[in-house]
Amino acid sequence: MTQLFFEYGAMGSGKSIEILKVAHNYESQGKKVLLMTPDVDDRSGVGVIYSRIGLKRKAAAIAKDENIYQKVLKNHENLAAVLIDEAQFLQPEQVDQLARIVDELNIPVMTFGLRQDAFNQLFPGSKRLFEIADKLEEMKTICTFCGKKAITQLRVVDGKPQYTGDQVFIGGNESYVPVCRKHWYHPDMKRIEQLFSN
Is the pLDDT score of 198 beyond 70?
A: no
d(C-alpha 82, C-alpha 72), whole Å = 8
pTM, 2 dp: 0.89
166-190 pLDDT per residue, tens: 787 666 566 889 999 999 999 988 8
41-57 pLDDT per residue, tens: 766 667 788 777 777 78
166: left (phi over 0), alpha (psi -120 to 50) or beta: beta
Catalytic annotation, residues: 86
Domains of the chain: 4-138 (3.40.50.300), 152-195 (no CATH)
pLDDT reported for residue 154: 92
69-121 pLDDT per residue, tens: 999 998 888 999 999 999 999 999 999 999 999 999 999 999 999 999 989 99
Comparing CA positions, the residue from 8, 68, 17 lying closest to residue 38 is 68
Q: Which residues contact 152 (CB under 8 A, 6 or more apart)?
A: 10, 115, 116, 118, 120, 178, 179, 181, 184
